[in-house]
Chain A
């Protein structure tokens, strides 16, 4: 497969919430509304100076007294106020962007499928049924006080082959959520240029008001 060299459409945004819209055929789609951009290009990284090609974008104003000095200084270089959400978008080739430029939802024109990166809602300490979709134990037939437990964790199967320890990475109960997650292949239902909104089919990670990165899907196959 030939690699695409251009910078792929990508924007930072804020998850607004979910709703429904009708398409031209009268089909109702569940969509997540994301307020995407306008994003400021804060820095352009090139192979010569930084060892890799990337565009650094910033989105979301913060009050000066809530921002750190380094952020105020970094954003100030391109004449912007301090920004809350700053992420880099990697490019294959030297990006054709300049620091200080604005990027809007226009860049998603013609894009049909997108990926969304966000931070999931924290679930706290969760058992294996919720965290790893384990089946749990039976409701009756002599099962007592163990209905949601994981069962045996295979004491003698270790990384060494056999021994007293359990395998590394064994799925158990623990803290769940609150981490980075990418959901892939969402259909981009609509682009609202007047209000800088992207209407993305399905649910995306994180709470309403959370920061998300929307980019053209890396994995979706393009129909020839």
Chain B
């Protein structure tokens, strides 16, 4: 009951349209920068190495290399100052936190990509599925004919 009320209290402050992204993904964070009266958007591109906390307090940490120096920024997901989060590349990981990247440089920091299937691959997959369905249909039809024979015996 009390947790429900807390959720209701923060409902207005929470974003409804947070894009789905996970640890290991490369993201482009649109940061809203307010300088006096003016406002502009600055990009920060890097690898998500952690997501922590939950609810309105949820944050994610993005790491990138700038001038041979590692830079990490932690953003609160629901902050109005984070204007948008774009997923550039999906990464495959076996860890929830990629802190090991801090000890690595160059090629060792690569993360395996989860690719969305290309047009060619999708066509091939569809063809394979179709062929399988057809062969199954043939198999199903064949035993059906044999059933009455078996019954006569």
Which A residues lie at the B interface, using CB under 8 A? 16-17, 19-22, 26, 28, 31, 33, 35, 190, 192, 194-195, 197, 199, 208-209
Interface CB pairs A-B, < 8 A, 17: A16-B2, A16-B6, A17-B6, A19-B9, A19-B10, A21-B9, A26-B80, A26-B81, A28-B76, A31-B9, A190-B12, A195-B8, A195-B9, A197-B9, A199-B9, A208-B2, A209-B2
Task: List 3 A-B pairs, minimum CB-CB distance, nearest first.
Answer: A26-B80, A21-B13, A22-B13
Could you tell me the distance in whole angstroms from the C-beta of B51 to the nearest C-beta in chain A? 17
Q: How far is the CA of A24 from the CA of B32 in the complex (A)?
A: 14
The answer to whether the Cβ of B98 comes within 8 Å of any Cβ in the partner chain is no
Q: How far is the CA of A197 from the CA of B78 in the complex (A)?
A: 21
The answer to whether the Cβ of B93 comes within 8 Å of any Cβ in the partner chain is no
* Residues in chain A near residue B81, CB distance under 8 A: 26
Q: How far is the CA of A3 from the CA of B60 in the complex (A)?
A: 51
Q: How far is the CA of A29 from the CA of B148 in the complex (A)?
A: 77
Which B residues lie at the A interface, using CB under 8 A? 2-3, 5-6, 8-10, 12-13, 32, 34, 55-57, 76, 78-81
Could you tell me the distance in whole angstroms from the C-beta of B59 to the nearest C-beta in chain A? 11
Known contacts A20-B56, A20-B57, A21-B56; is-contact A33 B80 (Cβ 8 Å): no
Complex partner residue of B6 from A19, A28, A190, A194, CB under 8 angstroms: A19
Complex partner residue of B10 from A20, A35, A194, A209, CB under 8 angstroms: A20
Could you tell me the distance in whole angstroms from the C-beta of B57 to the nearest C-beta in chain A? 6
Q: How far is the CA of A31 from the CA of B2 in the complex (A)?
A: 15
Q: How far is the CA of A30 from the CA of B139 in the complex (A)?
A: 66
Complex partner residue of A35 from B5, B32, B55, B79, CB under 8 angstroms: B5
* Residues in chain A near residue B13, CB distance under 8 A: 20-22
Residue of B6, B32, B34 with highest tally of chain A CB at under 10 A:
B6
Name A199's closest neighbour in chain B (CB-CB): B9
A21 touches B6 (CB 8 A): no
Q: How far is the CA of A17 from the CA of B57 in the complex (A)?
A: 15
Could you tell me the distance in whole angstroms from the C-beta of A88 to the nearest C-beta in chain B? 27
Residue of B9, B10, B76 with highest tally of chain A CB at under 10 A:
B9
* Residues in chain A near residue B79, CB distance under 8 A: 22, 26, 28
Q: How far is the CA of A20 from the CA of B14 in the complex (A)?
A: 10
Could you tell me the distance in whole angstroms from the C-beta of A81 to the nearest C-beta in chain B? 19
Name A196's closest neighbour in chain B (CB-CB): B5
B32 touches A26 (CB 8 A): yes
* Residues in chain A near residue B6, CB distance under 8 A: 16-17, 19, 33
Name A26's closest neighbour in chain B (CB-CB): B80
* Residues in chain A near residue B56, CB distance under 8 A: 19-21
Q: How far is the CA of A1 from the CA of B76 in the complex (A)?
A: 45
Q: How far is the CA of A194 from the CA of B9 in the complex (A)?
A: 10
B32 touches A197 (CB 8 A): no
* Residues in chain B near residue A21, CB distance under 8 A: 9-10, 12-13, 56
Q: How far is the CA of A33 from the CA of B6 in the complex (A)?
A: 7
Known contacts A28-B79, A209-B2; is-contact A197 B8 (Cβ 8 Å): yes
Known contacts A33-B9, A195-B9; is-contact A17 B76 (Cβ 8 Å): no
Complex partner residue of B5 from A20, A28, A195, CB under 8 angstroms: A195
Q: How far is the CA of A33 from the CA of B4 in the complex (A)?
A: 11
* Residues in chain B near residue A192, CB distance under 8 A: 8-9
* Residues in chain A near residue B76, CB distance under 8 A: 28
Could you tell me the distance in whole angstroms from the C-beta of B128 to the nearest C-beta in chain A? 49
* Residues in chain B near residue A22, CB distance under 8 A: 13, 78-80
